[in-house]
């Protein structure tokens, strides 16, 4: 396997060992890209961090810090910087850390320079808006000679960069490829699990942002913990229903990329989706809230995609539909709450009978 030979060498005892001094390019210098560049450079890899513009690349190189997305985290001296995709493609592993809306264009441009058989690790969460495709599918369609692994889980960049104990999942239909990524990223502060349900892992990561946005709206309205618990639990039911229809395994949503990611994003002060939701709950429009947060709020884009997917797959997703109406049809958040609370009577058993448990 050519991709394995890039990162492993045989030992005298007949096993394999990882080569620590290999070059890794992180494509995207937002908070998550910077955090992963920091983690990988600390493990001994030669890391190149790619930025979309020369101005951003020069600014981060000079400051050794992304002051917008990851303020207070000084990047290691040995990290190198570039805004040239061809230069970034000269590596033994690629990490795609651009926002969901930039994955298609970036991967298409990158495909011109990508080395054959080099693994691409995608850490973005969301959908391609036009085709409603999962992001790994978009990358595979553009970079046809590169295996893709999805890296997802309850991982706020701020905490990973500071070395707070964290868990994450490396997902690929080929578990051998996932295990390579597991070895590359895993250290005593980041525990990496493998999974072969790529669909479930991706959908959990993308759809939880919608529920986190709604949890923030609930907080902004001054509602309580009871409300948030309801949103998280019934939100997980929606995620599971759509995921199963799209080919995911139900139990995946009980794991780190389902329940785990949902918990951290709905409750954490670091969650930009929750912060934007709080502002919307207090009266801001979605556009105003995103400007205030000053970072990409993936839940807004995901709400539109998930709403369209729910219609395409004929899946009932009332929380997602309410979020869509607040974000794109100017429904007042308090009216959305009223509509959700006054829906027709249901049985909670429907959740378990759908196959989640």
Q: How far is CA 57 from the centre of its chain?
A: 22
Give me the long-range contacts of 102-110 (CB less than 8 A, separation at least 24): 102/28, 102/52, 103/128, 103/135, 103/138, 103/139, 104/128, 104/130, 104/138, 104/142, 106/27, 106/28, 107/138, 107/139, 107/142, 107/143, 108/142, 109/85, 110/27, 110/85, 110/142, 110/143
Q: Quick one: tokens of 110?
A: 């990158």
**DSSP states along 162-177:** HT--EEEEEE-SSHHH
Total residues found in the chain within this entry: 357
Element (H, E) at 39: helix 31-42
Our answer to whether residue 208 is catalytic in this structure is yes
For residues 140-150, one letter each, b for 16 or more C-beta atoms within 10 angstroms of the residue's C-beta and e for the rest, the string is: bebbeebbbbb
User: Per the residue annotation, which of 2, 115, 208, 282 is the catalytic one?
Assistant: 208
Q: Quick one: tokens of 166?
A: 């964290």
What are the catalytic residues?
208
């Amino acid at each position: 396997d050519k991709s394995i030979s890039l990162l492993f060498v045989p030992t005298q005892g007949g096993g394999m060992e990882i080569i620590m001094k290999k070059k890794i390019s992180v494509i995207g210098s937002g908070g998550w890209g910077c955090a992963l560049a920091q983690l990988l450079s600390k493990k001994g890899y030669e890391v190149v961090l790619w930025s979309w513009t020369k101005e951003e690349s020069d600014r981060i190189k000079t400051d050794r810090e992304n002051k917008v997305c990851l303020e207070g985290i000084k990047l290691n001296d040995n990290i190198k910087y570039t805004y040239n995709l061809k230069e970034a493609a000269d590596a033994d592993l690629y990490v795609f850390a651009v926002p969901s809306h930039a994955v298609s264009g970036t991967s298409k441009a990158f495909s011109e320079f990508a080395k054959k058989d080099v693994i691409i690790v995608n850490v973005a969460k969301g959908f391609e808006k036009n085709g409603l495709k999962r992001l790994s599918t978009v990358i595979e369609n553009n970079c046809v000679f590169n295996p893709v692994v999805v890296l997802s889980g309850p991982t706020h960049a701020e905490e990973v960069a500071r070395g707070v104990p964290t868990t994450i999942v490396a997902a690929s239909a080929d578990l051998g490829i996932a295990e390579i990524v597991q070895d590359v990223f895993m250290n005593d502060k980041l525990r990496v699990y493998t999974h072969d349900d790529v669909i479930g892992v991706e959908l959990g990561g993308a759809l939880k942002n919608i529920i986190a946005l709604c949890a923030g709206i609930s907080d902004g309205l001054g509602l309580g913990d009871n409300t948030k618990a309801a949103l998280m639990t019934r939100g997980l039911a929606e995620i599971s229903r759509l995921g199963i229809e799209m080919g995911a395994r139900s139990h995946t949503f009980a794991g780190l990329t389902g329940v785990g990611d949902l918990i951290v994003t709905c409750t954490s002060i670091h969650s930009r989706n929750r912060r934007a939701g709080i502002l919307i709950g207090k009266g801001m429009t979605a556009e105003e809230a995103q400007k205030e947060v000053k970072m990409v709020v993936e839940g807004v884009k995901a709400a539109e995609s998930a709403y369209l997917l729910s219609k395409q797959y004929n899946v009932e997703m009332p929380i997602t539909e309410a979020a869509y109406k607040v974000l794109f049809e100017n429904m007042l958040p308090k009216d959305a709450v009223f509509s959700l609370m006054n829906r027709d009577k249901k049985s909670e058993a429907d959740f378990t009978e759908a196959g989640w448990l």
